[in-house]
A and B are shown apart, each in its own frame.
Chain A
């Protein structure tokens, strides 16, 4: 799976994947109702459970892929969490609907075919909460299992109980949005007034929201790399954070000893031409150490990084993904890769 080389893109990539999973859950549920003919009392719980477990499974899978876990271990993780999520959400959703009907005993809410937000919002909230909780369990599980199944690739350093609570809250928000969109878009003519499309859009929205609020791999799971984009040694790359998690400054030049990224003299690189590191704010910065022409090119902008002998310090600029540093015939660029791939 190709990951986006820009960290902020995961804020769209992972929610898109979980949103697609939510929509798939809706479609499968609808097919089950249309062609298999589920019992009327199971339609709602089956829909909510299928969407929730697919979203959770996709989030866990995408999360694990992002931090570079092995496929077999990811499969074990998903296989443990998804069925449990489906079972618990279906029971909770059924109980939520039944409780709403019980609370309104004598009213209309116990009707088999009544479409009512009041009667069904509890089921959506419980489904969202269940999905959030099981997503958190899925992320905490590697840490819990680490004692018996030590494997660095299974351990997510960012998972914590606080994150778990955030996941629960995110699930509640996503569940509320799901129920709200399902009801409002299914009711009002101006918003479509079509329960068919409303259920689909609601399911996809649930996936997108849960993915955006709880399913993402954190920034810490990504490592910035400096790579030769063009010229001699094209494709050569060095990480800006070492294996112990410490920030290091990488020097680029043709000096034969001590350069983190050696470039041949013929490329036009100076002995010590530029260095790249991560500053205290977390930004990647590039510093020019050579009076030879050195340019940072980005969209509609170019920064001259050539060293000014009159200046007490080298010129430095923030380096973002997509920017290009030109020195001689070489071009350098910044990449982000999952940390465990380093």
Chain B
């Protein structure tokens, strides 16, 4: 019995979490993750990864405030190579014992200075230039905003380039000529201006253009060489104002098999084995969605006419559905397959935000902080599930075991809403306070006795 008890007591459970009394088990990534979301569960993990800010990298648990901090990085599941990506809190879901948490913060660490290629795939069809060409001008204005240009060409960086493309039935450079890789701000501004100066016409082969931008454009000799020389990651931004439309008799249902074929190609381009370049796809629509309540149906779902078009399967696109708005469902589906996000915006300012998002700096690793509504939830072992849902599908689980008996000093409030580990010596302060109180209690009779003697004289 005694041996069994000692065996139970000494059984190793996870790794001690620095500056806390909790322990943390190794993370268990989900088998079907497209990328590996690698949680660092100990200081040794952080040190082995060579991170600069080991303190921020350490996991931490503050049971008093119900706060937990973890850090993670993304890795290629086949090669184990770290993947630097730009992530925001909206892209990461945190579940505490299966309950989704709302109070979450994502902090990027160690910006990556490696190159980035932005492939802009702009709709050059006639609808963009209809009327006074307001949509084309909005795109033009957004692309020429100083903050967008600064995002595409960071000051003193020299590691970023833009490959601007326009598409109708085929895919060309913005001026209708050959696509050229642009590495300077001046060339970029010139190319963007040529987009407005070259009114387009023709059908909108959106799916074909996206697939081409994700594959063939990146295989052009000059582009491939540039990517290889700078170890760069491509980000494709596809922008349209309507539907994929190849002929006047096309109905919405006709697009379902075309979209499915395009999705297969996009997934292959992003996730196929042995690929050195894995582009990310963001999609943007300018205008209004034609059926605002609908969206892409889940993850990895086959495209059906019903799912894509709802009740409008047999409606013609040309002169019909395209008058009602843009096909945001296709955009969402494409973005989901491309590991990005779909946006629908109405003006230059909104589009600029999309481009800025595409040009957001990438970071080597991220710190995720979350706070449960009631610290009571942390008075037992619990599981934290981290899900990455937009850039790629990745999920991992880690299990915290707070101590059954003791707690470390609670965190201290910082300038922000989050707490930080307390400085060393906090527990010594409490010990000193208790000792002082006890000494005071013990000294009272002596003090009273002495005072009485003095008063008597």
3 A-B pairs with least C-beta separation: A41-B9, A16-B442, A195-B407
Asked if residues B407 and A27 are in contact (CB atoms below 8 Å), the reply is: no
Asked if residues A193 and B438 are in contact (CB atoms below 8 Å), the reply is: no
Interface size on A, residues (CB 8 A): 63
The verdict on B446 contacting chain A, using a C-beta distance below 8 Å, is: yes
Asked if A40 meets B401 with Cβ closer than 8 Å, knowing A34-B408, A91-B2, the reply is yes
Q: How far is the CA of A47 from the CA of B10 in the complex (A)?
A: 15
The verdict on B12 contacting chain A, using a C-beta distance below 8 Å, is: yes
Q: How far is the CA of A94 from the CA of B1 in the complex (A)?
A: 11
Q: How far is the CA of A194 from the CA of B427 in the complex (A)?
A: 13
Asked if A200 meets B430 with Cβ closer than 8 Å, knowing A9-B446, A112-B381, A322-B449, the reply is yes
The verdict on A8 contacting chain B, using a C-beta distance below 8 Å, is: yes
List residues of chain B with CB under 8 Å of any chain A CB: 2, 5-6, 8-14, 16, 19-23, 63-64, 375-376, 379-382, 400-410, 427-428, 430-431, 434-435, 438-439, 441-442, 444-446, 449, 452-453, 455-457
The verdict on A75 contacting chain B, using a C-beta distance below 8 Å, is: no
Asked if residues B442 and A13 are in contact (CB atoms below 8 Å), the reply is: yes
| Cross-chain contact of B406 among A19, A33, A333 (Cβ < 8 A) | A33
Q: How far is the CA of A193 from the CA of B64 in the complex (A)?
A: 7
Q: How far is the CA of A298 from the CA of B453 in the complex (A)?
A: 8
Q: How far is the CA of A298 from the CA of B13 in the complex (A)?
A: 65
The verdict on A297 contacting chain B, using a C-beta distance below 8 Å, is: yes
List the count of A-B residue pairs having beta carbons below 8 Å apart: 173
5 contacts between A and B (CB under 8 A): A9-B446, A20-B434, A42-B10, A115-B404, A299-B452
Across the interface, which residues of A come within 8 angstroms of B8, CB to CB?
Answer: 41, 98
The verdict on A23 contacting chain B, using a C-beta distance below 8 Å, is: yes
Across the interface, which residues of A come within 8 angstroms of B442, CB to CB?
Answer: 9, 12-13, 16-17
Q: How far is the CA of A27 from the CA of B430 in the complex (A)?
A: 9
Across the interface, which residues of A come within 8 angstroms of B441, CB to CB?
Answer: 12, 16
Across the interface, which residues of B come within 8 angstroms of A113, CB to CB?
Answer: 22, 379-382, 400-404
The verdict on A114 contacting chain B, using a C-beta distance below 8 Å, is: yes
The verdict on A329 contacting chain B, using a C-beta distance below 8 Å, is: no
Asked if A47 meets B404 with Cβ closer than 8 Å, knowing A40-B23, A42-B9, the reply is no
Q: How far is the CA of A108 from the CA of B404 in the complex (A)?
A: 13
| Cross-chain contact of A299 among B20, B380, B455 (Cβ < 8 A) | B455
Asked if residues B405 and A43 are in contact (CB atoms below 8 Å), the reply is: yes
Chain B proximity of A337: nearest CB distance (Å):
15
Asked if residues A204 and B456 are in contact (CB atoms below 8 Å), the reply is: no
Across the interface, which residues of A come within 8 angstroms of B431, CB to CB?
Answer: 23-24, 26-27, 200
Taking A33-B406, A44-B405 as known contacts, 5 extra A-B pairs with beta carbons closer than 8 A to each other, sorted by chain A number, are: A5-B449, A12-B445, A114-B404, A195-B407, A204-B434
Across the interface, which residues of B come within 8 angstroms of A27, CB to CB?
Answer: 427-428, 430-431
Asked if residues A108 and B380 are in contact (CB atoms below 8 Å), the reply is: yes
The verdict on A65 contacting chain B, using a C-beta distance below 8 Å, is: no
Asked if residues B407 and A199 are in contact (CB atoms below 8 Å), the reply is: yes
Asked if residues A208 and B438 are in contact (CB atoms below 8 Å), the reply is: yes
Chain A proximity of B316: nearest CB distance (Å):
61
Asked if A44 meets B404 with Cβ closer than 8 Å, knowing A12-B441, A16-B438, A39-B12, the reply is yes
Chain B proximity of A290: nearest CB distance (Å):
21
Choose among B404, B444, B449 the residue with the greatest number of A CB atoms under 10 Å from its CB: B404
The verdict on A95 contacting chain B, using a C-beta distance below 8 Å, is: yes
Asked if A196 meets B409 with Cβ closer than 8 Å, knowing A12-B441, A298-B456, the reply is yes
Across the interface, which residues of B come within 8 angstroms of A116, CB to CB?
Answer: 404
Asked if residues A120 and B404 are in contact (CB atoms below 8 Å), the reply is: yes
Across the interface, which residues of A come within 8 angstroms of B379, CB to CB?
Answer: 113-115, 187
Chain A binding surface SS class: helix
Across the interface, which residues of B come within 8 angstroms of A56, CB to CB?
Answer: none
Across the interface, which residues of B come within 8 angstroms of A31, CB to CB?
Answer: 427
| Cross-chain contact of A201 among B12, B402, B434, B444 (Cβ < 8 A) | B434
| Cross-chain contact of A4 among B13, B14, B435, B445 (Cβ < 8 A) | B445
Across the interface, which residues of B come within 8 angstroms of A195, CB to CB?
Answer: 63-64, 406-407
Chain B proximity of A219: nearest CB distance (Å):
16
Chain B proximity of A87: nearest CB distance (Å):
12
The verdict on A45 contacting chain B, using a C-beta distance below 8 Å, is: yes
Q: How far is the CA of A17 from the CA of B434 in the complex (A)?
A: 11
Chain B proximity of A5: nearest CB distance (Å):
7
Across the interface, which residues of A come within 8 angstroms of B439, CB to CB?
Answer: 16, 20
Q: How far is the CA of A23 from the CA of B6 in the complex (A)?
A: 26
Across the interface, which residues of A come within 8 angstroms of B452, CB to CB?
Answer: 298-299, 322
Across the interface, which residues of A come within 8 angstroms of B381, CB to CB?
Answer: 111-114
| Cross-chain contact of B11 among A30, A41, A111, A321 (Cβ < 8 A) | A41
Asked if residues A43 and B403 are in contact (CB atoms below 8 Å), the reply is: yes
Across the interface, which residues of B come within 8 angstroms of A333, CB to CB?
Answer: 453
| Cross-chain contact of B13 among A40, A94, A108, A196 (Cβ < 8 A) | A40
Asked if residues B434 and A94 are in contact (CB atoms below 8 Å), the reply is: no
Chain B proximity of A275: nearest CB distance (Å):
21
Across the interface, which residues of A come within 8 angstroms of B445, CB to CB?
Answer: 4, 6, 8-9, 12-13
Chain A proximity of B13: nearest CB distance (Å):
5
Across the interface, which residues of B come within 8 angstroms of A194, CB to CB?
Answer: 64, 407, 410
Across the interface, which residues of B come within 8 angstroms of A199, CB to CB?
Answer: 405-407
Asked if A37 meets B16 with Cβ closer than 8 Å, knowing A43-B403, A194-B410, A196-B409, the reply is yes
The verdict on A135 contacting chain B, using a C-beta distance below 8 Å, is: no
Q: How far is the CA of A21 from the CA of B323 in the complex (A)?
A: 82
Smallest CB gap from B402: residue in A? A113
Query: A44-60 vs B: 1/0 string, CB under 8 Å?
Result: 11010000000000000
Asked if residues B430 and A197 are in contact (CB atoms below 8 Å), the reply is: yes
Q: How far is the CA of A113 from the CA of B2 in the complex (A)?
A: 22
The verdict on A319 contacting chain B, using a C-beta distance below 8 Å, is: no
Chain B proximity of A32: nearest CB distance (Å):
10
Asked if residues B5 and A196 are in contact (CB atoms below 8 Å), the reply is: no
Chain B proximity of A202: nearest CB distance (Å):
10
Asked if residues A120 and B434 are in contact (CB atoms below 8 Å), the reply is: no
Across the interface, which residues of B come within 8 angstroms of A276, CB to CB?
Answer: none
Smallest CB gap from A11: residue in B? B445
Chain B proximity of A17: nearest CB distance (Å):
8
The verdict on A305 contacting chain B, using a C-beta distance below 8 Å, is: no
The verdict on A82 contacting chain B, using a C-beta distance below 8 Å, is: no
Chain B proximity of A187: nearest CB distance (Å):
8
Q: How far is the CA of A310 from the CA of B416 in the complex (A)?
A: 85
